Structures are given as structure tokens and as C-alpha cells.
Amino acid sequence: MKSKYIIFALLLAVATSFVSCDEDGWLQRDPKDRITDEQLWNDPNMILGLLANYYDRMPQLAGVFNTGTNTEFDDAMWSGHVDQNWHNDINYADDYGRYWDYGYIRDINLSLENMEKFSVKLNETQKKQFNAEFRFIRAYVYFELVKRMGGVPLITTQLIYNGSGDPSSLQNPRAKESEVYDFIYNEIQDIKDNFTQTEGSRTRANKITALALQSRAMLYAGSIAKYNSQMSAPISTAGGEVGIPASMAVGYYEKSLEASKAIIANENYELYDIAGSPKGENFYKLFMDKSCKEIIFAKDFMTGKVHGFTYDNVVRSFRVDIEGSSILSPSLSLVESYDYLDGSKGTLRDKDAEGNYIAYDKIDGIFANKDARLYGTVVYPGSAFRSSPVQIQAGVATWEDGGYKLKVGDLASVYSDGQTLTGADGPRDNDQYVSNTGFYIRKYVSENPQDGVRPSLASNWYPWFRLGEIYLNAAEAAFELEKPEAKDYINKVREVHGGFPANSIQTLTNDIIRNERRVELAFEDHRYFDLKRWRIADKVWDGLDSNPVAVVHGLYPYRISRPGHPDNGKFIYERVRPTRFKKARFFRMANYYSSIDQAVINNNPKIVKNPFH
């Protein structure tokens, strides 16, 4: 036992000698396996690295090349592997769209506090720039929270447990829905002039990006204030966590319009319009051209950081990688939302007044003189992809017993007359990895063959904000404020992107505004939230099989094989309800605000549940 004490004494002596002789601070040196707060918050490159992580985490519901969620509304259906056919039988459960990421909020709050505490070597311009970017991201996150959940706790500083055994200091109640929107607006006003180092950036926030968030968020708030109050039973809670007073609508619309007008007046941004190029091609290319001045803010992709949207959705016969592809099939109701250039409604003329098929000389004849944005968004029969015609033909129509009999075959099959029976691109009912509606998505799908191959995949970017939306935001806000210039904003977008004559809309209505948003912003994560804020989602998606919007339909082209008849070789079209589409979209009143996880409520009794939950 004595020897053990001797050994311990020797070790203590050695350790003491290290401490007493540590004249060069050997024991006080910074560890080599970690970065200190002082190092991080005084190195602009390290702060940029942290910001990149936060930008990358910015949430969306159906955005950033999300194929699956985009097949859960009325603009498309799922035509991929059958094991995910539940997208066609989607149940908008109580938690659909739920978002409650306070870990993300905490990370941003911690960053703001640490930068204030440790960034002694950054100049004031750098500090303001980084502070503005962190706060912009936080404001965006709160917008994602409020548009899904209603009012949420507004936490802008770290919540630190004091160890007392009483957690009440960490339990914050939900703010009013209006207070969250007001917070977003006030944050933007406070930071919008501090983005001095990112002017003109399309991938980091700047003043125009902040104003774009104001344009969108304030429009949402104004819509909820106005249209929620017009419901037969307005959705609200006693404390205002859900529901915005109708009296606040005008103020929010004014704030939205103010921001939109400032963006539109900025000469660094313009609607994409390449002279001499077809309008439909222009609309497609605005999402592919990274020099495009219409894009305000985008999530970028590049070598080493790629996405699989082209791989997932390229037209069947154009796939290079033999597995997957052709998952998202746009709906007939979306296609028919694109009006004809003569101003008539976009309903396709497949039959005459007596119910007889209309025969067209060319397979794309039914789509002639349509809004050019249709071509830029959807691949339809007779159109081209990668400069080659697509092979969309469902089958052959033969005249038998006084009517047409529709015959189909395998993909790329040949009829007895030596011509195509069913095209290599279908459509094929109840099949997978081929369109089930007769349409493919063009928007976002790269024409570069290598972008549809693993592991290279695609690097085109995803726009969070673009000028086309801002024009439509301006139009809607101005319309709600009864300002005559509202139709001018709509007409500008229709002319530049759609190919319509100047001033094609003389009398603006809510229905026109809402349809313009559907066709201009298809697959850009607006449709679900637009219908919610207008308080019409439960009417548009009413769960009825008789509703042509709640049920995804398709349009199948057939070549007429009728030798000796004038219609021989022409094309007719058949409306179909795809077998794989199981259930009409049904949006319940409970879906206007997602439910809050019970675990959150258990941990914080101050949290009020949302209505209907």
C-alpha cells in the first residue's frame, strides 16, 4: 500500500512540474481537433460555410425538385414504381404539411448571439451582412411555420435551462398568427439595407430577396385576413393563434404591393424574353439558364452537388439510365388551365357538341395556339424534347359497327398497317415508369442526356423567388386594393411568357388571377398554399369523383386507321381516368392548419391546439 502512495506522489510531482514550467503555455494551447468560437466568428470563410448549411436547410413542401409531393395535388399523379402508388391515394392527414423545426431556429439564434459576442475582427459592413443573412433565413423559416401551423412561439434568443427543476422559462406560448407575419415584415425592414456585399447575387440573400419574401408573405397574410373572415364558419382560436382580423387585410396587401413594385422597378431584374426565340422555349429555358435576370433567389446545384429530378422524370424514350424515370404525369386539368391565345378558355376540344370525336390532321393539333407556357411546362403529344419528337400515342382507332374501337399495344408496338400502334412514350394505363395521363413534365427537366444518368445527374438550379411570381403578387395585391394597374401586371406576364397579345385582359377577376398563378407557377410549391390562403382548398379538392379537378384525368391520342376515309391517318383523343389514380383529392377543414405534435404539447402546456385537432 505504501508503494502505491509513493507512485501517486511521483505522478503528482511530475504533473505539478509541467504546470509550473509551462512558460510557453503548452497546456493552454488551443486544441487541434476543433474550431473555437473566436476562430469561427472572426473568419468570413468559416461563417460563409455555416451560412451555406443554413441555406441548404431552408424548407419547402413540394419544392426543390420534390417529385413525390408534387404528385399529391391536382397538377399531377404518380406513374413511378407501384410501391409508391399511395401518392395517388393520398390522405391529407391531420399532420400533412406539419413543420416545427425549432432546432433550426435555435441554431440561427445561437449564431446571431455568437457573432455579436465573438466577431471582434470583422468590420461593421461584414457584421451587418452576415447578421442580415442569418435573420433573412430565420424570417423565411418563420414564414414556413406560420403558413402551415398558424401562430407559433416567436423565439429570437437562446433558451437556456437554469437547472432549477422548473422548465416554465423554456415554455413559450404561441404568438398570434398576425404577430408572426408582423415579425417577418419588421425583420425585413430592419435588415433590407444591410446586404451590401451580395447585391446582384442569385444564391445568397440580398435586399431584393428580402423584398421578395415581403411580397409573398404579406400577400398570404392579407389573403387569410380577408378570406378566412368570409367563410361561413371562420377558422380561429380565442387567442388569435389562428385567424387574422379582416381589418388587417388592407395593410398587408399594401405591404406586399410596396415590395413588389420596388422589385419590378429594379433594372437588375427582368422577365426572361430572348428575342427571336419561341415563347414556349423561353419559358422552359428561364429555369435552366443561370444567367437569367428573372431569377431573384435560387438554390444552386453544381458538380458534386446534383439532383435527380431529370433522372426521375425524363420522357420515357429519352432516358439513358435504364432504371426509373417518367414518374410525374401532369394532369389534364392543369393542361386545360392554359388558355388559347385568342382568349378562349383552355378546355381541349376533343369532341363536338353532339359528342362526336373531332379528328385533327396532326397529333398536336388539339394544342395549337395555346398559351406558350404550356409548352415550357408540359411535354404533350406532338411536341419535341432534346430537339426530337416525342412518341406519345396511346393506340389506334378503327371504325367498327358504326363507331371507333380503340386498340392499344405494348410500348413501341407496331400496328398491322406497319405504323405505330402504341408509342415508345405511351401513354399506358396502369403501367409504371411511363406516363399514365398522356403528358410528361418539361419544367426543370434538363435536355442534357448526361443529366439523367447516375451518378452525374443534373445541376440546374431551383428558383425560390423569381420575377414572374412578383408580377402576379403585385397584380393580386393591387386587385384587392382596387387599383386599376392590377391588370397591367397580369398582362405583362401573359405577353412575355405566354405569347398573348398586349393587354389581352381588359377586365380582371379573381378567377383570372388564380388561374394565372396555376399556369405560371406550376410545380413551384405554390398551388397547395394558394388554395389554402384563399380558403377554397376544401371546395377545389372536395373528394368527389365527379370533380374533374379533384380527380386527375388524362388525354390519350389515337391514330385513325380507316383506309379510304378522309379521316384516315388523323388523330382523335379520349379522356381517361387512369386506373392508378385511386381517390379524389379530399382536403378537410382540419387541413387548413396542420396539427401540432402531441409531444410538443406535452412538453409545453402553454401551446394551444389548432382547430379541428
Q: Name residues whose C-beta falls within 8 Å of residue 597's C-beta, 6 or more positions apart in sequence.
A: 95, 98, 100
For the chain, give the number of residues: 613
What value does the mean pLDDT take over residues 494-501? 98
* Rounded distance between C-alpha atoms, residue 518 and residue 534, angstroms: 13
Question: What pLDDT digit, counting tens, does each position of 115-172 carry?
Answer: 999 999 999 999 999 999 999 999 999 999 999 999 999 999 988 877 778 888 889 9
What value does the mean pLDDT take over residues 587-607? 97
* Rounded distance between C-alpha atoms, residue 97 and residue 79, angstroms: 22
1 has a pLDDT exceeding 70: no
The three-state secondary structure class of 580 is coil
Question: What pLDDT digit, counting tens, does each position of 520-543 carry?
Answer: 999 999 999 999 999 999 999 999
* Dihedral, 313, 317, 319, 323 alpha carbons, nearest 10: 90
Question: What pLDDT digit, counting tens, does each position of 365-415 carry?
Answer: 999 999 999 999 999 999 999 999 999 999 999 999 999 999 999 999 999
* 14 band by pLDDT with thresholds 50, 70 and 90: very low
The three-state secondary structure class of 355 is coil
What value does the mean pLDDT take over residues 466-489? 98
Contact 42, 126 (CB under 8 A): no
* 97 band by pLDDT with thresholds 50, 70 and 90: very high
User: What's residue 30's pLDDT?
Assistant: 58
CB atoms near residue 266 (< 10 Å)? 14
User: What's residue 3's pLDDT?
Assistant: 46
Find the range with the poorest average confidence among 182-196, 444-458, 552-566: 444-458
Find the range with the poorest average confidence among 28-37, 65-74, 308-317, 563-572: 28-37
Question: What pLDDT digit, counting tens, does each position of 406-463 carry?
Answer: 999 999 999 999 999 999 999 999 999 999 999 999 999 999 999 999 888 999 999 9
Closest CA to 326 of 116, 80, 74, 45: 80
4 has a pLDDT exceeding 50: no
Question: What pLDDT digit, counting tens, does each position of 313-348 carry?
Answer: 999 999 988 777 899 999 999 999 999 999 999 999
| DSSP assigned state of 298 | E
20 has a pLDDT exceeding 60: no
| Residue 48 Cα distances to 111, 159, 204, 299, 301, angstroms | 12, 25, 10, 15, 17
Closest CA to 523 of 582, 443, 432, 440: 443
Contact 130, 197 (CB under 8 A): no
| DSSP assigned state of 164 | S
Residue type, 50: L
484 has a pLDDT exceeding 60: yes
Contact 563, 357 (CB under 8 A): no
* Rounded distance between C-alpha atoms, residue 59 and residue 565, angstroms: 57
User: What's residue 365's pLDDT?
Assistant: 97
Percentage of residues in the chain with pLDDT exceeding 70? 95
| DSSP assigned state of 351 | B
Q: Name residues whose C-beta falls within 8 Å of residue 469's C-beta, 6 or more positions apart in sequence.
A: 212, 215, 216, 520, 521, 524, 526
What value does the mean pLDDT take over residues 191-202? 97
User: What's residue 15's pLDDT?
Assistant: 42
285 has a pLDDT exceeding 60: yes
Q: Mean pLDDT across the chain, nearest whole number? A: 94
CA 401 to chain centre: 49
**H or E segment and range at residue 428:** none
* Rounded distance between C-alpha atoms, residue 232 and residue 246, angstroms: 14
User: What's residue 552's pLDDT?
Assistant: 98
309 has a pLDDT exceeding 90: yes
User: What's residue 28's pLDDT?
Assistant: 54
CB atoms near residue 317 (< 10 Å)? 19
∠ CA(123), CA(107), CA(525), 5° rounding?
105
Pairing of strands 554-561, 395-400: parallel
User: What's residue 170's pLDDT?
Assistant: 84
User: What's residue 163's pLDDT?
Assistant: 79
553 has a pLDDT exceeding 70: yes
* Rounded distance between C-alpha atoms, residue 396 and residue 409, angstroms: 9
Q: Name residues whose C-beta falls within 8 Å of residue 258's C-beta, 6 or more positions apart in sequence.
A: 214
| Residue 446 Cα distances to 311, 323, 452, 460, angstroms | 9, 17, 8, 7
Q: Name residues whose C-beta falls within 8 Å of residue 511's C-beta, 6 or more positions apart in sequence.
A: none
Which residue do the cell numbers 392590377 mark?
486
Closest CA to 192 of 277, 127, 128, 111: 128
